Amino acid sequence: MRRRILLIIVLAISILITGCNRKEPVDNSQEERVITVDGQSYKITGDEISEQDVEEIIRTLSSFFDDNIISKDGINSNIDELTQLDIKDRVNFYEISLGDSILQIEKFEPEETEEIKFDRRPMVRVGDAIYLDTNNEINTDNKNIEIEGTITSRVPQSEIPVENNQANVDIIGSSYSKYGEDIIVNINDKWYLFKKDLTHVELYWEKSGLDPIFFNTEDTIQMLDVTYSGDYVSFLLKNNSESIIYYGDSVSMEKRNKDDWYMVPFSGDIGFTSQLNFLDPGKNIKIQLPINIWTKLYPGNYRIIQMYSFDSRSKEIRLLSGEFEIP
């Protein structure tokens, strides 16, 4: 404790001498350190001082950095004479003499490092799926090829196409055709095989913007027994409240990849109606959804999301969610 009080006394004396007129850092042949205290970064020179002591000094200095005045709240309460020392100029650098050592502290904002982007493998997006260039030419008779569509836009090669009929290389105007599970793309009057990417296909979908803290906020309204059967996803909607709940036919699905969730695209083969349903207090209903409402699903962790409200005009929408696995 005495050592810490001594450090703070020396600190205050040094501030009176150097705090108001910024000194240029001296070269004392010591390596510079960067530490973070309470979310703020500081450059530190003076490696003979322990990090714990440096943090204590910085917390005392923070009142100078931010308020131009040192307050009793920031200092050991036994040192009354250090309160209310007026600092005329706000500075971000202090040099403190500690015996034969010099401690330099400078407040700074780290520069944001620019993201380095690398070129990806050439690819196209067709029918909400990504197809990767194999660089393999396919010998085929043009007369027997049925054109499915044309590449109409592109993104930089460092990115993944996000729209259908889009590529990440300059092949706008190239036509494509189905080739089994894959496609072939006409580039400079030659057909090249692009294979469908089935690895982490969810990374090509739109990332979910839903925060799980908004799921299942009402203990009396539950989504139970979420089950995948191959052709259907089903769940039990249970109303244990004392009020009627209202819900639509529309249900969304998301797939998990590590800590992120991605929205599963709808296939377009089956749509939802705009019908408003209701469930009386104390009742439950089993809801069964054909799996072909969505694009093809691959093994992984999924969740179903159902919206509901206690108001027939759908005010104050709430969200139910339940997870299931596809093996």
Strand pairing report for 166-167 and 153-154: parallel
Q: Would you list the domain boundaries of the chain?
A: 2-108, 123-197, 207-326
Whether residue 258 is predicted with pLDDT greater than 90 in this model: the reply is no
122-156 per-position pLDDT tens digit:
999 998 788 999 999 998 877 788 999 999 999 99
* CB neighbour burial string for 290-306, b if at least 16 within 10 angstroms, e if fewer: ebebbbebeeeebbbbb
Distance CA 23, CA 237 (A): 69
Residue 78 has pLDDT above 50, yes or no: no
What is the four-CA torsion angle of 54, 60, 66, 70, rounded to 10 degrees? -150
Taking the alpha carbons at both ends of the chain, their separation in whole angstroms is 61
Q: Are the CB atoms for 204 and 160 separated by under 8 Å?
A: yes
Model confidence at 260, pLDDT cuts 50, 70, 90, reads confident
- Greater pLDDT, 51 or 113: 51
Cβ 237 vs Cβ 283: under 8 Å:
no
Q: Give CA–CA dist 152/171, Å, rounded.
A: 8
Q: What is the pTM of this model?
A: 0.46
Higher pLDDT, residue 256 or 15? 256
Whether residue 208 has pLDDT greater than 50: yes
Q: What is the mean pLDDT of residues 68-75?
A: 37
Tell me what pLDDT residue 55 has.
67
CA distances from 99 to 21, 56, 60, 75, 152 (A): 21, 18, 19, 21, 72
Q: Are the beta carbons of 230 and 257 closer than 8 angstroms?
A: no
Is residue 198 over pLDDT 80? no
H/E segment holding residue 38: none
- Determine which helix (DSSP H) or strand (DSSP E) holds 32, and give its type and residue range: strand 32-37
Question: In a 3-state reduction of DSSP, which class is residue 26?
Answer: coil
**pLDDT by residue (tens digit) across 300-323?**
899 999 999 998 876 788 999 999
DSSP 27: -
Whether the Cβ atoms of residue 91 and residue 61 lie closer than 8 Å to each other:
no
Highest mean pLDDT among 80-84, 170-174, 259-263: 170-174
| Encoded tokens for 282 | 């104390």
On the question of pLDDT at 67 being above 50, the answer is no
Q: At what angle do helices 2-18 and 51-67 cross, to 10 degrees?
A: 40
Q: Looking at 67-81, 155-169, 250-264, which range is the least confident one?
A: 67-81
User: According to the model, what pLDDT value does residue 242 have?
Assistant: 94
pLDDT at 257: 83
Topology of domain 207-326 in CATH is: Immunoglobulin-like (2.60.40)
DSSP 307: E
Measured CA to CA in angstroms, residue 130 lies from 126, 188, 228 at distances of: 6, 21, 25
> For the residues 29-53, what does the mean pLDDT come to?
66
